[in-house]
Amino acid sequence: MTRVLVSLAILEGDTVSPGLIDLLGTVDVTVLGYHVLPEQTPPDQARLQYEDRANEALDDVTEEFATAGGAAERRLVFTHDREKSIQRVAEETGADAFAVTGATGPVERLLVPVIGDVAVDRITAFVTELVGDRDIEVTLFFASDDEGETEQTALDDGAAALREAGIAVETEHVTGAPFDSLVDAAPGHDAVVMGEAAPSLRSFLFGDEAERVASETVGPVLVVRRNEEEDEEEDEEGEAVASDPAAESDPDTESDSTAE
Amino acid sequence: MSRDTQDGPGAGSEVDGQATDGNLPGGTNVEGEAPIVEETVETEEATITDDAELERTLGLTGGLAIGIGTMIGAGIFVFPGLAAGEAGPAAAGSFAIGAVVALLVALPTSELATAMPKSGGGYYFISRGLGTLAGTVVGLSLWFGLVFATAFYLVGFGYYAVDTLAEIGVTVGSGLVIPIALLFGAGFTVLNVTGTENAAKLQNGVVALLLSILTVFLLYGSLDALGVVGTASAPERFMPFGPVSVLTTAALVFTSYLGFAQVATVAGEMKQPGRNLPLAMVGSVVIVGVLYVVTVFVATSAFESARLAELGETAMVDVGRHYLGGAGALAIVFGGLLATMSSANASILSTSRAIYAVSRDALLPRGASRINLKYGTPHVALGLAGGPVLVLVATGEVEVLAEVASFLHLILYGLMCVALLMLRRDEPEWYDPDFRVPGYPVVPILGALSSFALIGFMQRISQVIGLAVMLASAAWYFYYARDVSLRGAL
């Protein structure tokens, strides 16, 4: 069963919008409540003081997810390092995607940009599970600085896979800066599903790509996790693109554009 | 929930807490508070309690930074002058003796820490291994031991601050040492209450920078002293004050080795505790031990011990000037500021954790471990750390502060070795350390004996103050927590 990890700063009043709860009704959900502590404070000390309050709040959220459909469980973590805790719990629960919460009403249209380091078929498989037999339309989206044919093929393959599962799909291939184009394309969509990006200098400086998308588009973002096997495949694909005569430029910019 | 299967790649997970074996903590203190002890499952990356998880976030580098960062300030930047004044060039031997004692204790401590990777460190092992009375005495003594150590580091910092000002041309005289130390002591306490940025990376950077400065300086100094560069210095008599002075000096400078036990106070937050705790503790002792011995060698090669004694707490600045001119002096002054600051700050943090561990077990009022809502920091415990520090700083007695700190820590160290022997003699079911001390039982026996022996070489006044703190702690136990039972309660 597909599982999504929803993480919340539970003691800081993070909430989940009703639209996201409904959207995740078709999948299992792990609600991860976390509380980040300064290093002066041992996590155990914070637990003594806050555990009951945090679990109460967490129970309410988990209950809402369970009511919406899928199985829901809760985890509560006291930590100095939010990223590490989220990654660990995602691994332990075998979650297929993270949810970055955002405000939305009922979800009728998903924006699915084909970016990040996750293979397109992994993303479309997740979208298929997520949409199920609901009436949710999907826009498969790709933006690049030049007109890559490989991407167009990947986009078409993805669209075909989704149509086969009975989902209404549109594809959009835009020439321009990937991130800006994505943000421009967001209006008219209620949520974004994208692949996880490898940590880069830019994500170090400006925050995780998914979180930037979430804050620019306001709505929730589901980030499909990558796994190691696919990283290898990804490398092969990267080589295939590099040897593509249509995209002959210097290798540096080439590897940049495949990374995004 | 699938917690049973979450032990992760580490096979080293174990079920602590034999509540079913009748090892529940018992009793309440005067205020009716009972110790809080729950069953937990320790994995490599987290501690899992009934209803929550506690992330382990400190890696080996973080552990080494705490150990080295706490220790290096005293041994290199404060003691060489004082130690050379008391033992001559043989002060290098005093530091070596200190390192050996520290190692003899660090090994058993590592075993205990991997068996009980919880915050509280030494206090936790002793209260579980030897019972509540020993636990209270050690827990409260550790609190005050750390307070004495912090005060000592702060006074050292004050000397370096005054020297820094002198180096940049502002001569203020040593009258400002104590006021500056007081100001920064209060400042660190306030910063720790209000600061929510993670300073761990900063601490790592500071330690890395210090190690680089020292390596370059000591390498050059050693080559120079040995005559590879320039002319070899004529050595004075190695042991001008006799062999006993080497031992008394070892007792004095032992404060330079207190940091490894501070690693144990964050045992609950260490990733892969079975591997990282022993490496961080033993590794930090070995690294600083080597640095100390070389530092004293370099210092005593530069100046005669009488001159070093005259230069006092900041003798290393002149040693730096001797070898590398103004740049050397500046590097040492800068390093000294950083090192004493990081020692003081790390100790304040350890103190707060020590207080928390004791208050969780109902040996101090529960209120001592309150966390404030605004900053998420343990303001009461930090205040209980910082307040007494300021009182002690005001005395300005560097050597007494250092020795009392060592005294109280040595008691803790000796008792940890005893606790290990007791636990090993009749191993409880829950006792399953990932790291077992090599050379058992010789190492813990030697560790205990040498810890207690070192106390015998201290000044009378330090011994009296140390004993008074212990007696007061014992009196507190009989008044406050006589009915609390902690032995074997995990």
Using CB atoms, pick whichever of B45, B118, B378 lies closest to residue A41: B378
pLDDT at B7: 38
Task: List CB contacts (< 8 A) between B376 and chain A.
Answer: 37-38, 41, 46
Answer whether A43 sits within 8 Å of B376, measured CB to CB: no
A87 touches chain B (CB under 8 A): no
Q: How far apart are CA B294 and CA B289, in angstroms?
A: 9
Q: How far is B301 from chain A (nearest CA, A)?
A: 41
Assess if residue A102 is contained within a domain: no
Residue A28's nearest CA partner among A88, A89, A71, A69 is: A71
Assess if residue A157 is contained within a domain: yes
Q: How far is A234 from chain B (nearest CA, A)?
A: 26
Assess if residue A116 is contained within a domain: yes
Q: How far is B6 from chain A (nearest CA, A)?
A: 6
Domain ranges of chain B: 61-480
Q: How far is A165 from chain B (nearest CA, A)?
A: 31
Count Cβ atoms below 10 Å from residue B193 Cβ, excluding itself.
22
pLDDT at B235: 58
Greater pLDDT, A37 or B196: A37
- What single DSSP character describes residue A198? P
Mean pLDDT of B32-46: 84
Q: How far is B404 from chain A (nearest CA, A)?
A: 25
Strand ranges in chain A using DSSP code E only, listed in sequence order: 3-9, 28-36, 72-79, 97-100, 109-113, 137-144, 169-175, 191-195, 221-224
Q: How far apart are CA A211 and CA A223, in angstroms?
A: 10
Instruction: Encode chain B in three state secondary structure.
Output: CCHHHCCCCCCCCEECCCHHHCCCCECCCCCCCCCCCCCCEECCCEEECCCCEEECCECHHHHHHHHHHHHHHHHHHCHHHHHHHHHHHHHHHHHHHHHHHHHHHHHHHHHHHHHCCCCCCHHHHHHHHHCHHHHHHHHHHHHHHHHHHHHHHHHHHHHHHHHHHHHCCCCCCHHHHHHHHHHHHHHHHHHHHHCCCCCHHHHHHHHHHHHHHHHHHHHHHHHHHCCCCCCCCCCCCCCCCHHHHHHHHHHHHHHHHCHHHHHHHCHHHECCHHHHHHHHHHHHHHHHHHHHHHHHHHHHHHCCHHHHHHHHHHHHHHHHHHHHHHHHHHHHHHHHHHHHHHHHHHHHHHHHHHHHHHHHCCCCCHHHHCCCCCCCCCHHHHHHHHHHHHHHHHHCCHHHHHHHHHHHHHHHHHHHHHHHHHHHHCCCCCCCCCCCCCCCCHHHHHHHHHHHHHHHCCCHHHHHHHHHHHHHHHHHHHHHCCCCECCCCC
Q: Which helix (H) or strand (E) holds A70?
A: none
Residue count (chain A): 260
Domain match, A27 and A119 both: no
Secondary structure of residue A107 in the 3-state scheme: coil
Task: List CB contacts (< 8 A) between A93 and chain B.
Answer: 2
Answer whether B46 sits within 8 Å of A55, measured CB to CB: no
Domain match, A37 and A135 both: no
B426 touches chain A (CB under 8 A): no
pLDDT at residue B261 is higher than 50: yes
Answer whether B54 sits within 8 Å of A44, measured CB to CB: yes
Q: Which residue of chain B comes nearest to A85, CA vs CA?
A: B55
Answer whether A80 sits within 8 Å of B8, measured CB to CB: no
Residue in the structure block whose two tokens are 């409260």:
B140
B1 touches chain A (CB under 8 A): yes
User: Using 50, 70 and 90 to split pLDDT, how confident is the model at B292?
Assistant: very high
Give the CATH number for residue A209: 3.40.50.620
β pairing state of B46-48 and A97-100: unpaired
Q: How far is B140 from chain A (nearest CA, A)?
A: 18
pLDDT at A233: 47
Report the Cα–Cα distance between both ends of chain A, in Å, rounded.
29
Domain match, A58 and A135 both: no
Where is the domain boundary, A60, A95, A130? Answer: A95
Q: Answer whether A78's CB lies under 8 Å from B52's CB.
A: yes
Torsion sign over Cα B264, B265, B270, B274: positive
Answer whether B119 sits within 8 Å of A41, measured CB to CB: no
pLDDT at residue B60 is higher than 90: yes
Answer whether A78 sits within 8 Å of B55, measured CB to CB: yes
Domain match, A158 and A244 both: yes
Domain match, A78 and A8 both: yes
Answer whether A38 sits within 8 Å of B360, measured CB to CB: no
B8 touches chain A (CB under 8 A): yes
Q: How far is B465 from chain A (nearest CA, A)?
A: 29
pLDDT at residue B20 is higher than 60: no
Using CB atoms, pick whichever of A45, A47, A84 lies closest to residue B52: A47
pLDDT at B304: 86
A76 touches chain B (CB under 8 A): yes
Query: What is the domain range of residue A63?
Result: 3-95
pTM of the complete model: 0.84
Residue B241: φ, ψ to 5°: -110, 15
Assess if residue A103 is contained within a domain: no
Q: Answer whether A149's CB lies under 8 Å from A246's CB.
A: yes
Q: Answer whether B148's CB lies under 8 Å from B388's CB.
A: no
Domain match, A140 and A240 both: yes
Residue A54: φ, ψ to 5°: -65, -45
Domain match, A162 and A136 both: yes
Q: How far apart are CA B56 and CA B273, in angstroms?
A: 9
Answer whether B376 sits within 8 Å of A41, measured CB to CB: yes
- Tens-digit pLDDT string for chain A (260 aa): 799 999 999 988 888 888 999 999 999 999 999 999 988 888 989 998 999 999 999 999 999 999 988 899 999 999 998 989 999 999 999 999 989 888 888 889 999 988 656 678 888 999 999 998 889 999 998 877 766 677 778 888 889 999 998 899 998 888 888 788 888 888 888 999 988 876 666 666 666 777 778 877 778 889 888 765 544 444 444 444 444 444 334 444 333 433 33
Q: How many domains does chain A divide into?
A: 2
Average predicted confidence (pLDDT) for chain B? 86
User: Is the bond preceding B80 in cis, omega lying within 30 degrees of 0?
Assistant: no
ipTM value for the complex: 0.85
β pairing state of A97-100 and A3-9: parallel
Q: How far is A94 from chain B (nearest CA, A)?
A: 11
pLDDT at A195: 84
pLDDT at A252: 42
Q: Answer whether B189's CB lies under 8 Å from B372's CB.
A: no
Domain match, A88 and A115 both: no
A79 touches chain B (CB under 8 A): yes
A40 touches chain B (CB under 8 A): yes
Domain match, A30 and A68 both: yes
B6 touches chain A (CB under 8 A): yes
pLDDT at B485: 86
Answer whether B195 sits within 8 Å of A77, measured CB to CB: no
**What is the CATH topology of the domain spanning B61-480?**
Amino acid/polyamine transporter I (1.20.1740)
Q: What is the pLDDT of residues B69-111, one digit of tens each?
A: 889 887 788 899 889 988 888 999 999 999 999 999 999 999 9
Q: Which residues pair with A32 in a beta bridge?
A: A7, A75
A55 touches chain B (CB under 8 A): yes
User: Using 50, 70 and 90 to split pLDDT, how confident is the model at B5?
Assistant: very low
Answer whether B199 sits within 8 Å of A92, measured CB to CB: no
Q: Which residues pair with A174 in a beta bridge?
A: A143
User: Using 50, 70 and 90 to split pLDDT, how confident is the model at B200?
Assistant: low
Q: Which residue of chain B comes nearest to A31, CA vs CA?
A: B1
Domain match, A113 and A88 both: no
Using CB atoms, pick whichever of B55, B356, B376 lies closest to residue A38: B376
Using CB atoms, pick whichever of A39, A42, A76 lies closest to residue B119: A42
Q: How many contacts does A have with B, using Cβ atoms within 8 A?
A: 101
Residue A220: φ, ψ to 5°: -70, 150
Answer whether A44 sits within 8 Å of B382, measured CB to CB: no
Q: Which residue of chain A comes nearest to B360, CA vs CA?
A: A45
Assess if residue A227 is contained within a domain: yes
Using CB atoms, pick whichever of B6, B266, B371 lies closest to residue A46: B371
Assess if residue A12 is contained within a domain: yes
Q: How far apart are CA B147 and CA B391, in angstroms?
A: 10
Task: List CB contacts (< 8 A) between B34 and chain A.
Answer: none
Residue in the structure block whose two tokens are 């502002």:
B170
A188 touches chain B (CB under 8 A): no
Q: What is the pLDDT of residues B369-425, one digit of tens each?
A: 899 888 889 999 999 999 999 999 999 888 899 999 999 999 999 999 999 999 999
Q: Which residue of chain A comes nearest to B51, CA vs CA?
A: A76
